[in-house]
Amino acid sequence: MGAGRVPEFRSDNTLINLQHLTKRFSRSGNEVTAVDGVDLNIREGEIYGIIGYSGAGKSTLIRMLNGLEQPTSGSVTVNGLEMSSISGAELRKARQKVSMIFQHFNLLWSRTVEENISLPLEIAGADKAARAERVRELVRLVGLEGREKAYPSELSGGQKQRVGIARALANEPRVLLCDEATSALDPETTDSILDLLTSINRRLGLTIVLITHEMHVIRKICHRVAVMEAGKVVEEGDVLQVFKSPEQPITKRFVSQVTEPGDARQAISQLGEAYPDGTLIRLGFVGDRAEQPVLAKLIRSFDINVNILQGNIAQTHGGAFGSLVLQLSGDGNAVREAIAFLHAEGVETEVIAHD
């Protein structure tokens, strides 16, 4: 079934290229620009995330990748084929290699699991034996053994999305588009679907483009991310680098969803009140630095008291990132030297409060 297992994403080959992509709609006599001059390169074999709040233009953008929407201007090129310049039978054939899964699954409720998965193969004209074999492969791939004869009404949300994924893979696409594919799922089920997408990406070398408003989704599975606001891509880069050094205000808000949720921000404020003595600092650890014994070296090297007040660590495809809130107390010079030491060690350090 398709290619064998591939290593972690390393490709520099562009599979999807967007140039000056713009989409305008006319609504009630007013012109609305949904996508505004977007330039992007998405590489073969990567998981690429597009994040933005409602109305940012991300859903319109992803629909132009498979020709469901035509751009007002600019171009969409997928695997060397300009999607924005083809139509009819040529476009239908191209869409077989650019599949899509949706937030609300879009299954046919009158069809069983295996019949839903088989539908694209029927449309493509595959014979009955080939369809049956392919459906068996896909059922195994997405972990739905024993549920082949079930109808969508008999499935959980996560199982429905697994059917949607299997159906999208039926014609062995080069690209899988995910339109808020986990937004209707609970957190545990979301993680299981993200794990499945990661496994499919690695096993098949499939390029995955997903849109979301949840930074947890980006953190967990994406190699690179584009941040959209008001139809524009305002920031783009490797996920770990974006977490390390977000530049735009909207990106900082998204990153704080994962690195510093609302209850943590409130807790840090409360810590400043609860520990008025000494200096309160927040440390940011990124990549290999998150796994180094920097704190142990700090304690051994300086005659200060170090109190760990709060901390967390998480993983991205590019490596680990995390944060610690510490209280440093002792001689003022020693505290300042300790903070300078942390800077020298490559640890991002922010003084939250000091006496």
- Predicted local confidence at residue 245, as pLDDT: 80
- Predicted local confidence at residue 7, as pLDDT: 36
- Predicted local confidence at residue 100, as pLDDT: 93
In the chain, at which residue ranges do the beta strands (DSSP E only) sit?
14-27, 30-43, 47-51, 73-78, 81-82, 98-102, 175-179, 207-212, 224-229, 232-238, 279-286, 304-316, 319-330, 348-354
Q: Where in the chain is the domain with CATH 3.30.70.260?
A: 261-354
DSSP conformational letter for 152: G
What is the number of residues in the chain?
A: 355
Q: In angstroms, rounded to a whole number, what is the distance separating the alpha carbons of residues 98 and 176? A: 6
Q: Where in the chain is the domain with CATH 3.40.50.300?
A: 14-97+172-258
Assigned token pair, 31? 């012109």
100 in Cβ contact with 66 (< 8 Å)? yes
- Predicted local confidence at residue 22, as pLDDT: 96
Region 261-354: CATH code: 3.30.70.260
pLDDT in tens, 210-253: 999 999 899 999 999 999 999 999 999 999 888 878 889 999 88
pLDDT in tens, 277-290: 678 888 877 665 55
In CATH terms, 14-97+172-258 corresponds, of 3.30.300.30, 3.40.640.10, 3.30.460.10, 3.40.50.300, to 3.40.50.300
Q: What is the dihedral of CA 64, 66, 69, 73, to 10 degrees?
A: 40
Cα dist from 94 to 13, 17, 37, 173, whole Å: 19, 15, 24, 9
Q: In angstroms, rounded to a whole number, what is the distance separating the alpha carbons of residues 325 and 273? A: 14
pTM here is 0.81
Give the chain's residues under pLDDT 50.
1-10, 262-264
| Measured CA angle at 29 (ends 23, 31), to 5 deg | 25
